[in-house]
Amino acid sequence: MLGGTAGFGDPQRNPLIVSSKKAIDALSEGVELRSLSDAPVLVATIVNVNQLSRSAPLGRTLSEIYASQLANLGFNVKELKLRGDVFIQEGTGELLLSREIRDIAQTHQAAAVLVGTYAQAKQNVYISIKLVRVADSRIVSSYDYALPYEADIQRLVAGN
């Protein structure tokens, strides 16, 4: 028990964190680090499939967890928020729309970009993530999963 709370207060038991880390583990399975030549991997903000130009706290939170787990697995993840040459628009995070991915990735000499979308349904939020090779836009690996649409997830989707 952490901080006097039971259950999901422990990050290692929180469904959002656990399932997101497992998603990255599955996504990276079979992806050889050598194939990326230690070139950086960028993590784009995960966006709502119905509003690709906007992000909610859910998408930004997922991106943070994904970046952390990729780094923990040994990928060379570049933190874009520390760079002055990437404009971060308030309310959207570091969105990497398809028309911008190639330019930003080339600027950072990235080998791959993790992109993804989420879709809210009645009982679940469905998430699809892809590791895309910059050189030819080939999807190197992908993974799909669902999160129960419970109170914490509802707040992250709504932006509260």
The enclosing domain of 131 has a CATH number of 3.40.50.10610
In a domain, 92, yes or no: yes
Domain span at 97 = 10-29+36-158
Cβ–Cβ under 8 Å, residues 93 and 59: yes
Residue closest to 156 by CA, chosen among 37, 49, 59: 59
In a domain, 116, yes or no: yes
* Domains identified in the chain, total number: 1
Cβ–Cβ under 8 Å, residues 136 and 34: no
In a domain, 5, yes or no: no
State the pTM of this model. 0.82
pLDDT in tens, the chain (160 residues): 344 444 556 667 788 999 999 999 999 988 876 677 678 999 988 989 988 777 789 999 999 999 999 999 989 998 876 444 444 444 444 445 455 666 777 777 888 989 999 999 999 999 999 998 888 888 989 999 999 999 999 999 998 6
In a domain, 130, yes or no: yes
In a domain, 1, yes or no: no
In terms of DSSP H, where are the helices of the chain?
Answer: 15-28, 57-72, 98-107, 151-158
Single-letter amino acid code for the residue at 108: H
Residue closest to 127 by CA, chosen among 112, 141, 143, 140: 143
Cβ–Cβ under 8 Å, residues 48 and 118: yes
**Residue 90 token pair:** 């308030």
In a domain, 133, yes or no: yes
d(CA 128, CA 135): 21
In a domain, 22, yes or no: yes
